[in-house]
Amino acid sequence: MHVPTITFCDLIYNPQIFDGAKVRFRTTYLANSKVATFVDLSCMAKGKQTWAEFDGISIKESAPAEIFKKLEEQVWCGKCGDDNNWRETEMLVTGIFRADDIGHGRLGKYRFAVTVTNVEEIGATFKTEKTRFVPLK
């Protein structure tokens, strides 16, 4: 099955096209103890926040062992930071995009969600007290 490669911005600006579809895109995973989201500096529109979920079983079956190990160390590390410590990790992922209006993520505050089923690339995780990713008004 062919999985289309799109930009993250195309995904969130055309949710009706991709709702329920398996898609592949490059993104930054932004997280702290309360947030797990995908972001892109090119499209930080308010109301377009995307919750990030990882299907560990699917990823373990599809990703190379070294990628899976990096995910365990950099992403699934429990509370790697607190509210004042953000983690930013570049990655190339494949997953199922959901654009229904039910609300996703913590307290249902996220407009969209992606359940990641494969991670092809993962960069270093950068920890910072203040993130550069702020939604535009």
Domain boundaries along the sequence of the chain:
8-128
* Domain covering 8-128 assigned CATH 3.30.2290 in the classification: no
pTM for the predicted model, two decimal places: 0.89
Question: For residue 104, what are the CA distances in angstroms to 60, 72, 125?
Answer: 24, 23, 24
Mean per-residue pLDDT, 101-127: 88
DSSP string, 34-89: S-EEEE-TT--BTT--EEEEE-HHHHHHHS-HHHHHHHHHHTSSSSSS-TT-EEEE
Tell me: pLDDT of 77 over 70: yes
- Averaged pLDDT score across all residues of the chain: 87
Query: How do residues 26-61 score in pLDDT, each as one tens digit?
Result: 999 998 878 889 999 888 877 888 999 999 999 999
Query: How do residues 5-24 score in pLDDT, each as one tens digit?
Result: 999 999 999 999 999 999 99
Contact 24, 94 (CB under 8 A): yes
pLDDT value of residue 33 = 79
Q: Categorize the per-residue pLDDT at 107 as very low, low, confident or very high, splitting at 50, 70 and 90.
A: confident
State which H helix or E strand residue 16 sits in.
helix 15-18
Residues in the chain, overall count: 137
State which H helix or E strand residue 27 sits in.
strand 22-31
